[in-house]
């Protein structure tokens, strides 16, 4: 997997190393690099070894990726927005095994829509919350989870122009994986 700096170079994007993040607008000192650094630290007050906490890791990954889509691969927007759609609209409680299943559905979708691109919202208009807000609003595990969920929903809402498109992928995912749904394998409890 390429690192974010390589993706930016490949996409002709110059990364700012000073000031606020050029993508999400977080009030950082080292630009997008600090955004990525904060994200990579992973909010250590959450014990991700517990299965019930995986959900928050996925919410954070989706929010960060969609706010910084220029430093990721082309189909990432489809994947991460669809996962958010499944979480927020269909109540899917995401876990690691579901990512491969979604990836399979997306592969089928891509063959039928090879030229489709989900264009990111305007720079600095990709949700009111950022990774820095999560960091600054966190005093314990409960506040961290709440901040991550708020961040995820904020980012999801600004991508609303594409909700109908990702709903096609989401419905295919739900239909293809009915057995998981019927067995209660992925409908979330209130978190």
Q: Is residue 33 part of a domain?
A: yes
Q: How many domains does the chain have?
A: 1
**CB under 8 Å to 137, separation ≥6 — which residues?**
143, 147
Q: Is residue 146 part of a domain?
A: yes
Q: Is residue 188 part of a domain?
A: no
Q: Is residue 16 part of a domain?
A: yes
Structure tokens at 68: 């910084």
- pTM, entire model: 0.91
CA distances to 47, 50, 98, 99, 153 from 81, in Å:
25, 24, 14, 13, 11
Q: Is residue 190 part of a domain?
A: no
Q: Is residue 187 part of a domain?
A: no
User: Residue 99: which of 114, 117, 84 has the closest Cα?
Assistant: 84
pLDDT, tens digit, 9 for 90 and up, residues 28-86: 999 999 999 999 987 889 998 888 898 899 999 999 999 999 998 889 999 999 999 99
pLDDT, tens digit, 9 for 90 and up, residues 93-119: 888 889 999 999 999 999 999 999 999
The reported pLDDT for the residue numbered 163 is 98
Q: Is residue 129 part of a domain?
A: yes
Range of the domain at 174: 4-182
């Amino acid at each position: 997997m390429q690192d974010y700096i390589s993706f930016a170079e490949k996409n002709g994007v110059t990364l700012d190393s000073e000031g606020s993040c050029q993508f999400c607008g977080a009030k950082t000192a080292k630009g997008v690099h600090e955004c990525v650094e904060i994200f990579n630290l992973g909010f250590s007050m959450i014990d991700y070894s517990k299965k019930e906490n995986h959900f928050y890791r996925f919410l954070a990954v989706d929010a960060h990726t969609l706010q910084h889509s220029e430093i990721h691969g082309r189909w990432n927007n489809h994947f991460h927005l669809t996962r958010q759609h499944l979480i927020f609209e269909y109540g899917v409680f995401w876990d690691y095994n579901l990512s491969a299943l979604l990836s399979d559905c997306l592969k089928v979708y891509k063959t039928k829509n090879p030229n489709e691109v989900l264009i990111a919202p305007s720079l600095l208009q990709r949700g009111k919350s950022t990774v820095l807000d999560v960091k600054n609003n966190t005093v314990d595990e409960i506040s961290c989870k709440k901040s991550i969920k708020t961040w995820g929903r904020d980012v999801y809402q600004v991508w609303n122009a594409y909700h109908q498109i990702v709903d096609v992928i989401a419905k295919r995912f739900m239909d293809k994986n009915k057995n998981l749904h019927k067995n209660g394998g992925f409908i979330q409890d209130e978190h």
